[in-house]
């Protein structure tokens, strides 16, 4: 379950993939031992997203405990099985179905609150150890986390107001988000032939 070069692992259910006929990842309780081993033993892993997953809260608490021994800078996991006795998901992500606040279904225990707080503090400490004491966690989430997901050397930093605007409108069903290029669209060719301080043809 480990690799000396892995830094980023996202197995969450992406809400935007259904229209592209992509299947959701479905990580359930059977994966918890392997996830805990990965998180607690791999020292290069910086980002882990399990997303909305069919893992009961008590099992996710095991992952949380492993995070306290990890090198992670970013971690996200949310159970869609608030009732520990039910194996069938109580929530299926979609544009029309918002995840209910689990606290409204069952109040977190004192121990659960303490563990959540400890995880957040641990992630903050890891961020400061990596980026310096002046790096606030909110700033890390807004800026530096992006470069764990993307290669900063080869990706142009373009924060497109149009991309964000269109995605927001699409989520509210006020506009269709165009994802497929027209048959004669030369965007890819122009990007691949662009010249600059980045490289689109670098061999790895």
- Give the CA distances from residue 33 to residues 43, 66, 71, 83, in Å, rounded to whole numbers and listed in that order: 17, 10, 18, 20
Same domain membership, residue 159 and residue 112: no
Same domain membership, residue 181 and residue 121: no
Same domain membership, residue 124 and residue 67: yes
CB 85 within 8 A of CB 45: no
Same domain membership, residue 125 and residue 86: yes
The predicted-structure confidence for 24-41, as pLDDT tens digits, reads as follows 667 889 999 999 999 999
Same domain membership, residue 90 and residue 142: yes
- Max Cα–Cα distance, the chain, nearest Å: 59
Number of domains in the chain: 2
Same domain membership, residue 177 and residue 89: no
Question: What pLDDT sits at residue 81?
Answer: 77
Confidence check: pLDDT of 18 > 50:
yes
Q: Please state, for a pLDDT cut of 90, what percent of the chain lies above it.
A: 36
- For the entire predicted model, the pTM comes to 0.68
Question: What pLDDT sits at residue 37?
Answer: 95
Question: What pLDDT sits at residue 134?
Answer: 96
The predicted-structure confidence for 109-167, as pLDDT tens digits, reads as follows 788 889 999 999 999 999 999 999 999 999 999 889 988 987 776 665 554 545 666 77
Q: Angle at CA 28, nearest 5°, toward 24 and 34?
A: 110
Confidence check: pLDDT of 171 > 90:
no
- Give the CA distances from residue 137 to residues 73, 74, 129, in Å, rounded to whole numbers and listed in that order: 9, 10, 12
Question: What pLDDT sits at residue 12?
Answer: 81
Same domain membership, residue 25 and residue 94: yes
In a domain, 3, yes or no: no
**Mean pLDDT within 72-97:** 68
For residue 185, the enclosing domain spans 155-204
26-48 b/e (C-beta count within 10 Å ≥ 16 → b): ebebebbeebbebbbebeebbbb
**Mean pLDDT within 33-61:** 92
Tokens of 146: 């992006």
Same domain membership, residue 67 and residue 135: yes
């Amino acid at each position: 379950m480990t690799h000396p070069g892995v830094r980023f692992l996202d197995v969450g259910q992406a809400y935007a993939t259904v229209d592209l006929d992509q299947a959701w990842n479905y990580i359930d309780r059977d994966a918890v031992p392997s996830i805990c081993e990965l998180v607690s033993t791999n020292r290069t892993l910086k980002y882990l997203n399990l997303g909305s997953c069919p893992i009961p809260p008590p099992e996710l608490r095991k992952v949380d405990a492993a995070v306290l021994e990890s090198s992670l800078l970013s971690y996200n996991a949310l159970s869609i099985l608030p009732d520990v006795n039910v194996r069938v998901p109580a929530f299926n992500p979609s544009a029309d179905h918002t995840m209910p606040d689990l606290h409204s279904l069952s109040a977190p225990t004192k121990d659960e609150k303490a563990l959540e707080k400890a995880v957040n503090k641990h992630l903050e400490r890891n961020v400061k150890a990596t980026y310096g004491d002046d790096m606030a966690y909110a700033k890390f989430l807004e800026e530096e986390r992006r470069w764990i997901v993307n290669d900063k050397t080869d990706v142009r930093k373009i924060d497109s107001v149009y991309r964000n605007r269109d995605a927001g409108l699409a989520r509210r069903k006020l506009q269709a988000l165009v994802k497929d290029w027209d048959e004669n669209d030369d965007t890819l060719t122009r990007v691949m032939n662009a010249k600059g301080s980045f490289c689109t043809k670098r061999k790895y």
